[in-house]
C-alpha cells in the first residue's frame, strides 16, 4: 500500500476555490477536508452558504454540475461543526484522526441518519432533507 503524499492545505483550498485542483484527485476525503476548512474559517451557518457556493463552482469547473448534492453537503458540514464544537482540535490531522468515520465514503456515516431511498432521491439532491432514521445515542 502506498501512501498519498500530504497536500499543503493552502494548495488544496486554493485549487478548490479556483477550480484548478485535479478532479481525479478530489475524492471524499478532500471534500471533507475542505468542508472542515470552511467551518473553521467561516463558522456556522455561514460555512453552509460559502462552501455550497464554492462546491457548486468547483463541480461546474470540472464539467460535472449535476454531481452537487445539497443534503450530503449540508449534512457533512453540520456533522463537522458539531464535532468541532464538542471536541475542538488544532488542525486537520487531529480532526481526521478523531473522526475517521467521516472520511469513509462507503459505508458512509450518513447511512446512520438516512434511508438510501431518501438520501439518493432527486429531492435530496436539490433540497436539504432532515435525517429520517432514528439514532439512539448512549
Going by pLDDT thresholds of 50, 70 and 90, the confidence category of residue 6 is low
Q: Long-range contact list for 64-72, CB < 8 A, 24+ apart?
A: 64/23, 68/125, 69/124, 69/125, 70/124, 70/125, 70/126, 70/127, 70/128, 71/114, 71/119, 71/124, 71/125, 71/127, 71/128, 71/129, 72/110, 72/119, 72/124
> pLDDT tens for residues 83-116?
999 999 999 999 999 999 999 999 999 999 999 9
Torsion of CA 91, 93, 94, 98, to 10 degrees: 130
Which one-letter DSSP state was computed for residue 90?
Answer: S
Q: Domain spans of the chain? A: 9-126
23, with CB counted inside 10 A (0-12, 13-18, 19+), is middle
d(CA 82, CA 76): 10
Phi-psi category of residue 49: left, alpha or beta, with phi > 0 → left and psi -120 to 50 → alpha:
alpha
> pLDDT tens for residues 8-53?
899 999 999 999 999 999 999 999 999 999 999 999 999 999 999 9
Torsion of CA 112, 46, 50, 82, to 10 degrees: -30
Q: Which pTM value belongs to this model?
A: 0.90
Across the range 129-134, mean pLDDT stands at 91
Amino acid at each position: 500500500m502506498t501512501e498519498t503524499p500530504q497536500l499543503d492545505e493552502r494548495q488544496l483550498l486554493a485549487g478548490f476555490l479556483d477550480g484548478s485542483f485535479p478532479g481525479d484527485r478530489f475524492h471524499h476525503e478532500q471534500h471533507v477536508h475542505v468542508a472542515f476548512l470552511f467551518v473553521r474559517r467561516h463558522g456556522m451557518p455561514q460555512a453552509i452558504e460559502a462552501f455550497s457556493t464554492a462546491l457548486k463552482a468547483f463541480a461546474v469547473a470540472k464539467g460535472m454540475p449535476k454531481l452537487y448534492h445539497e443534503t450530503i453537503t449540508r449534512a457533512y458540514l453540520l456533522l463537522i461543526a458539531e464535532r468541532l464544537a464538542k471536541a475542538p482540535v488544532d488542525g486537520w490531522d487531529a480532526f481526521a484522526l478523531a473522526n475517521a468515520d467521516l472520511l469513509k465514503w462507503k459505508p458512509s456515516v450518513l447511512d446512520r441518519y438516512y434511508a438510501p431511498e431518501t438520501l439518493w432521491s432527486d429531492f435530496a439532491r436539490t433540497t436539504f432533507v432532515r435525517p429520517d432514521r432514528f439514532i439512539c445515542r448512549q
